[in-house]
A = this chain, B = another copy of it.
Amino acid sequence: LRIRLALIGQGLVASHFEAGIARLKEGDMEPYGVPLAKFQLPYRPEDIDIVSSYDVDNAKVGKSAYDVAMQLMGNEFPVPSSLKDIEIRRGIHLGSSRGMPFSAGGLEDSEGVRGAISRLADEWRSLDVDVVVNIITTESGRAFDSADGLRGTIEAGGPGLTASHAYAYALAEYASRRGGAAFVNSIPTPLANDKGVVDLYAEGSAVVLGDDGATGATPLTADLLEHMAERNRKIGFIVQFNIGGNTDFLALTDPGRNAMKELTKSGAVSDILGYDAPHYIKPTGYLEPLGDRKFVAMHLSYLSFNNALDDVYVLARINDSPALAGILVDLVRLAKIAVDRGMRGTIYPVNAFYMKRPGPSDSRATSKILAFEGLKKWLGLTG
Point out residues on A near B: beta carbons under 8 Å.
16, 19-20, 23, 29-38, 77, 219-220, 223-224, 226-227, 230-234, 236-237, 239, 241, 243, 274, 278-280, 284-290, 293, 295, 297, 299, 301-319, 322-323, 325-327, 329, 367-370, 372-373
Contacts and interface: CB of A to CB of B under 8 A. Distances in A.
A290 B309 CA distance: 13
Nearest to A232: B37
Contact of A373 (B219, B237, B316, B373): B373
Contacts of A286: 280
A315 B315 contact: yes
A156 to B, nearest CB: 37
Given A16-B305, A373-B373, A230 B322 contact: no
Contacts of A322: 304-306, 308
Nearest to A77: B306
A49 to B, nearest CB: 18
Q: How many copies does the complex hold?
A: 4
Contact of A369 (B19, B31, B226): B226
A249 to B, nearest CB: 11
B306 A231 contact: no
Given A77-B306, A227-B368, 9 more contacts: A16-B306, A20-B306, A33-B306, A220-B224, A295-B299, A305-B326, A306-B326, A310-B318, A370-B373
B308 A316 contact: no
A107 to B, nearest CB: 31
Which 9 A-B pairs have CB atoms at the shortest separation, nearest pair first? A305-B326, A33-B305, A297-B297, A308-B319, A308-B322, A33-B304, A369-B369, A313-B315, A305-B322
Nearest to A372: B230
